[in-house]
Every structure is written in structure tokens, then in C-alpha cells.
Structure 1
Amino acid sequence: MKYIIQFSIIVFTIIAQGQGTSDKWYFGNEAGLDFSTGSPIEITDSLMNSIESCASVSDTFGNLLFYTDGVNVWDSNNNVTPNGTGLFGNVSTSQILIIQKPKTEGMYYIFYADAFGGPNGLRYSEMNMNLNNGNGDIVNTTKNTLLHLNASEKMSAINHCDGSDIWLATLNFSNNNFYIYKISETGIEQPIISNSGNIDDSCCHTMKFSPNGSFLAYTNNFSGNGDDSKLYSFNALTGIITFHSNLPRNINNLENNYGLSFSPDNSKLYISSGYNLTSQGVTNVLYQYDMESLDIPSTKTIIFEELFPNQGVNPTPFGSLQNGPDGKIYLARWSANLSVNSLGVINNPNAQGSSCNFQLEGVSLGGKSSLLGLPNFNESYFNQSNPITCDELSIDENIKEKLKIFPNPFTVNLNVEFVNQENEINIKLYSILGKLVLEDTYFNKKQLQINTSSLREGVYFLKISTKNRSSTLKIVKS
């Protein structure tokens, strides 16, 4: 029997595939941002008014192609396309997505779900940019094609580790299963249905991959059943999801988790929380988690908190979080009772704690407002690394008879013992985020002792290469 192990080789550079594609954002109440010059500039010509649901896409030069709320589709001239009405989405759906068909110029999928798990389910329509005099339009034969019913509003996309295909993650809340769709140049494949036994999803709120594809997380609300937000491990080769940990909410104040986003270097996770009821009033909270910790839930840290005293309703609840092309993370703020014409900004999202430099009023929207939604993108666009690669390494199930790794878990020294002396041994140690943290080569050895005193506690992947064999093992430093 053989096992497939996937991990990422990371170099600090922004993935080229996303350059330009995510430059134009259209969202909220006629709001928008243009990132094409490097810093966001407000866009005020949008004709879309959506509480949550929104997506937009540009070409590789940053020129707007189209935007949508899951009901209508507008072209780059702000005109609804001829066949771009009557999509079975809803402006109150928390997330929709636009994904370019792999290796197919000018063809895009628009994915959208009904609100609150409604009867229309999860559907897609194809957008052909060659139609409508080059302004694009929905291909009529694909309009509102059903993928599955009982669809959660949550969805996220990430590159397959082959660098070509794309994974679309969705949830079916009636049977608590992940439905993971592989999208290739030939189309949308049948879903990989995955249930780790730890899914207790509500219909709504948001889901995100980490930009390197190692993790998937989603938020839950105050549904009354005490469900926590969740963190999962993801295999970008197989599409399999594995439960990692709960991200507990404060159920004493009916804490409502809404937005989430991983930092561009994958080391932090942020969750926005609004509508939180306390004896003093209602609060908004922004949390940070350390993804490199051995106990991620325990690292929950308040980055920002604001209180509205004696309020029964939150006048400006926090909404979506979204990575931007400039390496910052943006926070939607719904202006229900107060005038809010800006987004919050996490200026240094890779930094620990308050060093992330959160600004509540970080970027102006030129008199427009975001409401709860921000555009949803393929998270690979924001990965500060090389594209994820598939490193398929075969490990013999009798590996213990040929190679011993002990102790595991370990504290400082890790021992590696071979059956026979090896002429040359290369050791590489990767963090859970795929960073190469240690490398060495040994000659004419049968037993090695690897000193890891400079490394923090956590999960690592140890790759051992000899002349005849290459093996990767998961190890834990405690």
C-alpha cells in the first residue's frame, strides 16, 4: 500500500496568476475599489446594491470584465448583460464566486447559492466574454445549472496543487458533508463528498482556504445550538478534508462569527464577530489565531473591540474579511443606523498581535457603503509563495522496518535510524505552512540526531532522501 503526501515548497513571492485578476472590487451599496495602482482608490460608478452577495473579475492587466450579485450580471460598462438577469442566487447570500475555466480564454463560471439554504440550491452559469460585442454574456444553455440542493451559503476556491485545476469547496448542510468540486479545462467534475464527523454547519456566513491550500475554515453564527466555527486540514492533491479543531465562540453573549481570512503568508487566521450581546451593550470584535501553534484555538487574541453601550441592535456590525492584492486584509462594515463609508484594514496581517496594525476606518469608499459583503476570490491569488506543487512521495507501509524516527512527539532532539549505513542522506524539515525551516546533508551514516532547539512547538513534515528512497513523515515537536 502506498500513501500520497502533499506539501508546499514556499518562496516569498506573490503568485503571478492573481496579478490583475482581483484588482477591481464591486460590492455593497454601489461601492467599489480599484487596486490597479497599488493602493486602493474608490470606485463610485457601480450600479449594484447587495447586502452580502458580490463578486467581480478583471483581466490580467486589471481591466474590469464583469461583476455580479448572483442575481444580475453587469459588464464593464455597468450595463446588465442581455442574458444576465434571473440568476437563482440572492443578494443575502454571504458568498458567491467567479472562477475562470482552466486553460480556456474568455470563459468563466459564476457560482451562487440560494439564501438561507433555500430551494434553489447551489448553481452555476457560464460567462462567455466573446458574446455581447465582446462585453460578455451568460451562455443560455448553462444558465442556472444545478450542482446540489440544500446548499450552504459558504464557498471558497483554491488552486489544485498541479497549478492548473481549481478546487471549489461547498457545504451541504442537510447531511453535513463537504462537497468539493474539481474544475478543469474539461468542466466541473462530480464532487468529492467528505465528512470528517465534525461538521455541524449552519446555512450561513463564510468559508475560506488558506492561500497555500493547507487549511480550510468556516464561521458559524448564534444559531442557538452552540456550534463553533471550524478549522480543517485540506489536501490540495486529493481534495480530502480532515477535521483539525473547533474555534470556539463565546456562547454566553451569543457571539456571532461572520468573516474570516488567512494572512497572505498563511501564518495567521482572522475572524470578525458582530452582534455580540453583553450586559453593557453590543460589541464588534476582531480575533487573530496563530496557525503555527501546536494548539491553534488557544492562541485566540482580540485585535480590536468596540462597544455600543445600551444597544440592543448593533448599528455597524462587522462583516466579511478579504485578502487584497496589496497584501492587506479588508473588513466590511455594515452601516445600518450610522453613516459608515469606509472599510477596516489590517495593514500587516502577517504580524503577531497588535503589530498587525488594524485601522477601523482604513480606506474611504467615496460616500458609498460596504454592507456585509466583500468580493470572494480564488485564495491562491493572494499566496505569498510559489504555486502549490504536488510532491507525490511513496511510503512503504513497512517503513518502520526500514527507517525509525523517535521519539515522536519530541522536544529537542529527533533521532533517525536506518537499517543499513547510507552513503548520503539529505534531511529537509518543513513547517505545517510548508516553509523549509531546516536542511542538512550527512554522509556514511546509519543513525542521525537532529537538533531542533531553534524551532517552535508544532507540526512538521520531515523529508528524508537517500540514493534509493525518498520518504516524508509527519512529526510533532511538543
Structure 2
Amino acid sequence: MHKIVLLTGVFLLGMLNVCAQGQANNWYFGYGAGLNFSTGSPRALTDGSLYTLEGCATISDDDGNLLFYTDGITVYGANHSILTNGTGLFGNPSSTQSAIIIPQPDTPGIYYIFTVDTTTRQGETNEGVNYSIVDFTSDPAGVVREKNTPLLNYAAEKLSAVIKSCTDNSVWLVTLSSASGNQNFINTVYAFQLSSSGLDTTPVRSSAGFVVEDPRGNLKFSPDGTKLAIANASGGLFLADFDSESGTVTNTQRLNINSANYAAYGVEFSPNNRFLYSASSNNEDSRLGAGNHFSSLIQYDLEAADINASQVSLDESGYYRGSLQLGPDGKIYRALSLAYEEGLNSLGVIENPNALGTAANYNDQAIDLGTGVSYQGLPPFNQSLFNELDIIQNSISTTQLTLCDGENYVLGYEPVAGALYSWYKDGNLIAGETNNQLNISQPAGVSLPYTETYEFRLDPNDGSCEKVGVAEVTYYAYPAAATGLSLTQCEDAGTADGLSIFNLTQVQEELTGGDTDFTVSYHLNATDAATESNAIDPVGYENTNPTETVYARVTNPAGCSITVPIDLIVSSSAANTAVLEGCDLDDTGFAEFDLSQADAQVLDGVSGNYEIHYYPTEEAALLEDSALELPQLYTNQTAYNETVYARVENNNACFAISTVALILIPRPDFSLETEAIYCEASYPETQTYSPDYSDLDPSRIYTYEWFPEGQTTPYLETNLSGDHTLRVTDVNTGCFREATITIVEEQIPIIDNIEVTDATENNTATITLSGNGAYEVAIDDETGPYQDELFFDGLTPGFHTLYVRSKNACTAISQEFSIIGFSKYFTPNGDGYHDYWQVKGISAMVQPGTVIRIFNRYGKLLKELNPLGQGWDGTFSGTNLPADDYWFQVNLEDGRVFKSHFTLKR
């Protein structure tokens, strides 16, 4: 036996393991997955920043407060942000155990992160096993220093740790070299010692006793540090002895896995160190999806004469490979996934890992991870954290015991030949208690709940380390018996049979006194409640007769229960139906309603003081589920017409349920042109503008109002330009719609200029107009054709009339213009056609001062014509001149001069 001079030293060392178990209270793993064990049973955490398929590590302080976690590359603090200098570590999320975090013994605030890469290549010293230090002494938020200090160039994906001995707080960090490394050091176990003085980088080497064919798979110590299990994914499962004093590994043996071709990946020991568990798989290609994988969960009894023959299969499933990890609650958790990148939102649990065979009770997919996703990895810890004796032995918890008021219990552990026993209560030695069992009971006069802590110390008295078991015992009072409980519900609408549906949980606060630690189940009769059998669903329970009693079983955390009857009463009272109308302001069929405006209608003629709550369905109103809370405005969920339900209550008892119709009235539907024309030529006469009312509901009454005129007619009569707004209002509902028409005054067009090009082969006219209207023009014919283009060509000599009219039929104007031109011939034979030759396009208003002279071919002046006269008749001094070509010269009044010839034909 190891002699310790100071008993307090022994006690403190024993308590180190007990208190330090809080270091494993928080887990972060997988894709956003996590667990918290602070309350005993694990609670899902979904606030993490970790996204890893395999490797991960987490550490908390001794009180269970999260400190930091990592995937082997990035370090995240308690606030889930990256620590200072916390990136670029040489681990790998695809490494089985990419990292493990170990506090430096007796050195508060200093933590070592050991990392191992997923692949190791000779000559690359920045891979393999490295360590970094997280320091909280210089920065309370934590800072990473001495990052990626190398320990071992070549290693398998395995890291585990255990305390050195019961007299030394030093910790062994153990890893395994892989066959891809230096041939002198392959298949070797390396043990590095971390003490209060720091890390000894000179390892203790031991032969692994086998060839590391595959670097993947867990490496785990038994909690007492005497055994080492190594999963070598393609090479099998191995068990070895470990001497925690020297750090050496001996007696390696291979364990068979009965299922053919199975590859070990996850391994873990039971808290009592007796059983080894292995999670193995068929090791199919990781790229294959779900349905191509198969896995096995096996227990080995390490106390059996033939360990291989002792294996018991606890589960055979279509899962991919996954890690195993002991939890602070003494249970073993199993990572679950269907394929390499196809995870699950749950973990499996070995509920009683200290039990032999199937009594270990594997519970598949027992832990709901919420939005978190499990893949292959779970965070490893110093296995000594879990080296405690189970002195409760109730298959519920190894450390926490709940008892009822006045209940007795026997704590203890199986006897060990030659061992010495001692018991402590709240840190004080219990004198005279030297047996392996202890009867405990609630102290007199204490207020409940009351908690006390018992510690059992077993000294094997054979030179090995002392073992410790701890039980935190809490006594709970029985629930206070609630009497005279009843639940009044309203009758189903449209029935008069005294039947309805109930939400029994409405009396839960009365049953528990508001204590959230109490649980309640509901039963049809007192016998079922007393035996906790045939529980009914409390929400939506349908009574079978108008007078009925159900029973509640109220249980405190220690399992102490009472049975309470609940009378179910159905109210046949009635309230009024109500109608709330609203306007469909945005033409979608949806709007906000103030449901409180229905209160007066619902309670009209109902005397008394009542509360009204509104619900989306009658069932919701009966069960008080999904209330439409006021004073928030409620938006209807069904377009235009919807029914909600008013629950009228008197002291939470349902008095009546009535309907509230929510009717959304469409706004008056009409159309109004956005723009119209008023003709300036009509002023001061008014013009009429009429909207299209064909879509108005003829069964409803409407009012009309025009702004700014103030007219109340369906149509508008005005001579004013600008914006004019029409409001059409439904008289019964007040719903209205507005539309605006912009009236533009169209001006009378002004002909600014008619620019002609005449006396040519192709006479043209170009028109210039003024005005804001849309105009069109025609030549010589008031009926058209009209054209938009203000240009004409091919005009004959003479006088023409330009017609300009509004396309909007506002106005029409005209103006005459002249095209100067000359005939090429004339025939003065008295037949009335072409009897005279004259310059065309001249009038008393157009070029009246023009001078016209006619010559024969020899240049003799024959005639000077009056430009306003009839023209030349082909005679000279009364005598007809012969047919011939004659010449002319025209001096226009505007200064232009034209000379040419024409033909006289006889």
C-alpha cells in the first residue's frame, strides 16, 4: 500500500478526480452539435461554432463552465468566437482524435492542446503530434501560445490521456506511431508526461505489439489507467496493459470481432473498468451513401477467462463508423451517422455500461441533438475524470441520487477481499463507518430539497491506488396534495351532449405548485395513476360523459408521487357571434384586424366579468393553444373571409366559445383614365369625364366625390386642367378607392410658317406649327387624308389650302398658300381649255407686283402681262401668232427672276 503521511493530502487528491469531472461537462462535436451534463442528464447544445466530421476536443473548468473547444485547427472560446492566435493548429477535423485538451497539473489557467494530423508524411515535421498552450493567466479570454510545437513527426490518428498515479497528479499523453513514419519507430506507443513543471518532450516508448495497418480509430485508457484499447480500423482491435507509474505498455492482445471483415473504430471502457465496448463497421468506401454501411456495438468482459469468447453484441445496424465516449453521468455515448458526410440528429447511449451483457441496455438514437448533427467523432478527455466507483448502483446515475422525504437508502460497493473502507459526508470522515455499505437517511429538521455529498474510499491494501466513489444525495418533499381541482371546458360548437376536448395541463401549475422539477402524468383512473400505467395524452383529451374525473400522478425528482383527482366540467353557456369587417386596402385579400373590437359584440347581453381570448381554430380555443395574443393586430390567414374563435373565460374556466367572422370587404372597383384632354377651343364650356364602373358591385351603395371640385356625381364636368381625384366610397363599410385623372389643356394650333420650294420640277411645302397638342395635316381636302409629317412634295403650281386638326378632335384650322409655277404650253383655240398662258400662284395677296414679259425666239418683246389678269392669248397687235416656242421673263415681287420658254400650239 502507498503510504500518505497527511490524510488531508489523500482526501484532496481523491476529491481532485471528483471535482475535475466538471471538465467534461460540455461537449462540442459534429456539425453544430453539443451536449451539456451540468444537470446530470445531457441537454442538447446548438450554439457551437464547430463543424467537423471526426476530430474534436472540449474542456470546461472544474465547476463545469465551458472554457474552449477545437477541431484540431481552430480554437473557439466560451463565447464561441476564435481565441487570440487560435487558428492554424496542425490537427485535422478528419483525424479520428484530432485533439485532446489537458490542464497542466497544479497550474491554474494553463491548458495543453495536443493535436494529431490525419496524414503523416516523412520529412514534414509540422504534422504528426504537436502541442499548443492556451493561457488564461495573461488574458482572461484566453490566448494561444507556443503554437504547433512538435512532439512526434509520424503518428496514427489517436490520442488519449490518464493520470500517472494516485500520488502524482502528472498526466500521461499517449499516442501511437504509424507505419508511414520512420521505420525505427513504427508500431510504437509513445507516452509523454505532463506535470506541474511542464511537458517532458522525451517520451517513454513501448512496442505496440502489432502493425499499425490503418491510422484511423480511437485510442482509450480505462478510467483506472491500467488498460489501453486501440482500434486499428483495417487491422483489428487490440487490448494492452498500461503501467501508469512507468508509462509502459505490455501484454498486447488482439480481440476478435465476430462479424466478418469488421473494422474497429470507436472504443471505450466502462466506469468500473471491467467492460470494453467497441463500435465497428464493415469499413466500406466512405464515399458510398446510406444503405452501404453496417456496424456493430460489442461488449467484452475483461474479467472473463477468455475475453474473446465473452463478447456480446448490443446492436447491429446500418450505421457508418462512430466514436464512443464516457460521459460524466457514467453512461457511454455513441456517435451515429449513415455515411461519411450523412449524419444524424441523435446519439446512441449505453445506459448501464457497468452491467454484464445486454443488461448494459443500449438505447439507439436516445439523445436528441436538436439542429446539431452527429458524424463520426466525439470529444476525448483525460479518462481519469471518469475513474469513480459507483456506490449508488441503481442503473440511473453513478454520481447523483434523489430520495423522497423520509426515504432510506444503502450506498455501497461490492466487497473486495482485504480492502479497507472509509466514508465521508460533506468532506468529513464518518467515524466508525468502515464497511463497504452505508445506510443513509434524511437528517431531521432540514428544509427540502436538501442535498448532501457522500464519499466512499476503498483502499485495496495491496499496494495499488485507492479508489473513490461519490454520491450527491438530494431529498425532495412529496408534492403537496392539491384538492378540489376541476377543469371547466366549453361544449363543442353545434352540439348539446356535454362533451368537449380538454387541455389537462391547464391545472399543471396547481398540481406542482409551480415547481418545474415536478413531473405530471394523467390517467383515466386512480389505479393507473398509482401504478404509472396507461398514461393519456393531456392535450386534446375528449371526455366520454358529461360528468367525468381523471387522475393526475404528480412526481418529484426523487420519484415520490401522489395521485390527484381532476373533475371535468363542460359548460353549455353561449356567447354571441361577432363580425368584424375591414377594408382590403392593398387589394390582396389580407389585412390587420383589432380582435378586441369584437369584445362588445361577443359579450352583448352577457352579464358578469369575463376575459376574452382569441384563437385560430375551435380546437385551439378549447385547448388554449396558439392564442392570438392582443394587443397585436391579427392578419387574416384566409383571403377575404376567415373565422376565428373567442374563448370567454371566468377565472380560466371556459364560459363559452363563439365565432368571430373576419370579413375583408374589397374596395370599390372602378377604373379611371390617368390622363385626358380639355380643348382650349371649347373654353369656357365644360367637358365630361366618365370612369368605368362596370366592375362595381350593383348590390352595394356608393358615394362619389371629386377633388378639388367637390362634385358628388359619378362623372366629372370641368373646364379646368390639372389633377382631379375621384373617391368612391362603400356607404355600408366606409371602404373607398381613389383614382386620379390628369387633365391637360390642348391649345389651338398656330401655323407659324409654310415654307415652299416652288417654280421647280418638284414643288414642296414644309409646315411649322405651335401648340401642345397632337396634330395632323392635310392639303386641299378638309376630309383628308391627314398625315403626321409636316411636309408635302409634288405640289402643282397654284394655290393650295393647308388643313390642321387635333387628333383629339379639339380644333381644326386652315391656311391658303401659293406655289409659283409656269405652264409648258397653251392652246388658244377658244375651247375653254388652256386658252391663256399665265404665271400660276400669284394673287392680289401673293406677289401682286410681279412683272411678266413674253418674247419671240428673236428676243422681240411681244407682251407684258398683268400678273393678276387672265394671261396671254397668243396674239400680237390683234393677230394670232403662229405655233412656236416663246420665251418669258418673270420678275417676282420678292426679287426672284425666272426665265424659260413655253409652247404655243395651234
Q: TM-score range by the shorter chain?
A: 0.7 to 0.9
Partner of 1:169: 174
Partner of 1:294: 305
Cα distance between partner residues in 1 of 2:16 and 2:192 = 25
Cα distance between partner residues in 2 of 1:192 and 1:61 = 33
Cα distance between partner residues in 1 of 2:32 and 2:116 = 22
Judged with a 3 Å threshold, the aligned counterparts in structure 2 of structure 1 residues 86 and 289 are, in CA distance, closer, same or farther, namely same
Partner of 1:19: 21
Judged with a 3 Å threshold, the aligned counterparts in structure 2 of structure 1 residues 435 and 294 are, in CA distance, closer, same or farther, namely farther
Cα distance between partner residues in 2 of 1:256 and 1:196 = 18
Which segment drifts farther, 264-273 or 195-204? 195-204
The equivalent position to 1:210 in structure 2, one of 219, 222, 227, is 222
After TM superposition, give the deviation of residue 218 of structure 1 in Å. 0.6
The answer on whether the counterparts of 2:293 and 2:320 sit within 8 Å (CA) in structure 1 is: no
Q: 1:135-179 CA deviation, whole Å, 9 max, x = no partner?
A: 11101xx11000011111111100011241001111112311111
Greater Rg, structure 1 or structure 2?
Answer: 2
Partner of 2:254: 246
Q: 1:355-401 CA deviation, whole Å, 9 max, x = no partner?
A: 11111111110121121100110000011249xxxxxxxxxxxxxxx
After TM superposition, give the deviation of residue 13 of structure 1 in Å. 9.8
Q: 1:109-132 CA deviation, whole Å, 9 max, x = no partner?
A: 000011033541100000001344
Partner of 2:83: 81
The answer on whether the counterparts of 1:93 and 1:114 sit within 8 Å (CA) in structure 2 is: yes
Is 1:257 paired with 2:264? yes
Is 1:105 paired with 2:100? no
Q: Secondary structure at the match of 2:309?
A: helix
The equivalent position to 1:136 in structure 2, one of 142, 148, 153, is 142
Aligned positions of 1:47-446 closer than 5 A = 47-95=49-97, 96-118=99-121, 119=124, 120-132=127-139, 134-139=140-145, 142-161=146-165, 162-173=167-178, 174=181, 175-189=186-200, 190-195=202-207, 197-222=209-234, 227-249=235-257, 253-275=260-282, 282-306=293-317, 308=318, 316-336=319-339, 340-385=344-389, 437-439=416-418
Partner of 2:718: none
Cα distance between partner residues in 1 of 2:252 and 2:309 = 13
Cα distance between partner residues in 1 of 2:20 and 2:277 = 21
Q: 1:219-262 CA deviation, whole Å, 9 max, x = no partner?
A: 1223xxxx221100011111111024211245x84312110000
The answer on whether the counterparts of 2:133 and 2:144 sit within 8 Å (CA) in structure 1 is: yes
Q: Secondary structure at the match of 1:219?
A: strand
The answer on whether the counterparts of 1:211 and 1:266 sit within 8 Å (CA) in structure 2 is: yes
CA-based RMSD of the aligned residues comes to 2.9
Amino acid of the structure 2 residue aligned with 1:159: I
The answer on whether the counterparts of 2:212 and 2:232 sit within 8 Å (CA) in structure 1 is: no
Partner of 2:652: none
Cα distance between partner residues in 1 of 2:113 and 2:316 = 35
Cα distance between partner residues in 1 of 2:16 and 2:416 = 20
The answer on whether the counterparts of 1:121 and 1:148 sit within 8 Å (CA) in structure 2 is: yes
Q: Secondary structure at the match of 1:204?
A: coil
The equivalent position to 2:32 in structure 1, one of 9, 13, 30, is 30
Cα distance between partner residues in 2 of 1:435 and 1:164 = 27
Q: 1:419-440 CA deviation, whole Å, 9 max, x = no partner?
A: xxxxxxxxxxxxxxx9863239
Judged with a 3 Å threshold, the aligned counterparts in structure 2 of structure 1 residues 335 and 238 are, in CA distance, closer, same or farther, namely same
Q: 1:437-464 CA deviation, whole Å, 9 max, x = no partner?
A: 32399xxxxxxxxxxxxxxxxxxxx978
After TM superposition, give the deviation of residue 16 of structure 1 in Å. 1.0
Cα distance between partner residues in 1 of 2:328 and 2:89 = 28
Amino acid of the structure 1 residue aligned with 2:387: N
Cα distance between partner residues in 2 of 1:440 and 1:16 = 21
Q: 1:300-355 CA deviation, whole Å, 9 max, x = no partner?
A: 1111112x4xxxxxxx4130000000010000012437662000000000001111
The answer on whether the counterparts of 1:98 and 1:377 sit within 8 Å (CA) in structure 2 is: yes
Amino acid of the structure 2 residue aligned with 1:211: P
The answer on whether the counterparts of 1:329 and 1:347 sit within 8 Å (CA) in structure 2 is: yes
Q: Secondary structure at the match of 1:361?
A: strand
Query: Gapped runs of 5+ residues in structure 2?
Result: 3-9, 285-290, 391-412, 421-459, 465-906
Query: Gapped runs of 5+ residues in structure 1?
Result: 309-315, 387-433, 442-461, 465-469, 472-478
Cα distance between partner residues in 1 of 2:414 and 2:120 = 39
The TM-score normalised by the length of structure 1 is 0.73
After TM superposition, give the deviation of residue 201 of structure 1 in Å. 4.8
Q: Secondary structure at the match of 2:157?
A: strand
Cα distance between partner residues in 2 of 1:440 and 1:200 = 40
Cα distance between partner residues in 2 of 1:253 and 1:264 = 29
After TM superposition, give the deviation of residue 19 of structure 1 in Å. 2.6
Amino acid of the structure 2 residue aligned with 1:42: A
Amino acid of the structure 2 residue aligned with 1:321: L
For CA contacts below 8 A with separation 6 or more, give which structure has more relative contact order: 1
Amino acid of the structure 1 residue aligned with 2:304: S
Q: 1:74-128 CA deviation, whole Å, 9 max, x = no partner?
A: 0101101120001111110111200000110000000001103354110000000
Partner of 2:855: none
Q: Secondary structure at the match of 1:354?
A: helix
Cα distance between partner residues in 2 of 1:372 and 1:346 = 17
The answer on whether the counterparts of 1:18 and 1:380 sit within 8 Å (CA) in structure 2 is: no
The answer on whether the counterparts of 2:312 and 2:358 sit within 8 Å (CA) in structure 1 is: no
Judged with a 3 Å threshold, the aligned counterparts in structure 2 of structure 1 residues 254 and 170 are, in CA distance, closer, same or farther, namely same
Q: Secondary structure at the match of 2:169?
A: coil
How many residues were matched structurally?
Answer: 374
After TM superposition, give the deviation of residue 298 of structure 1 in Å. 1.8
Partner of 2:596: none
Cα distance between partner residues in 1 of 2:419 and 2:334 = 43
Q: Secondary structure at the match of 2:119?
A: helix
Q: Secondary structure at the match of 2:359?
A: helix
Cα distance between partner residues in 1 of 2:335 and 2:419 = 46
The answer on whether the counterparts of 1:14 and 1:383 sit within 8 Å (CA) in structure 2 is: no
The answer on whether the counterparts of 1:212 and 1:385 sit within 8 Å (CA) in structure 2 is: no
Cα distance between partner residues in 2 of 1:332 and 1:244 = 27
The answer on whether the counterparts of 2:327 and 2:333 sit within 8 Å (CA) in structure 1 is: yes
Cα distance between partner residues in 2 of 1:268 and 1:14 = 24
Judged with a 3 Å threshold, the aligned counterparts in structure 2 of structure 1 residues 356 and 45 are, in CA distance, closer, same or farther, namely same
Cα distance between partner residues in 2 of 1:58 and 1:51 = 22
Partner of 1:454: none
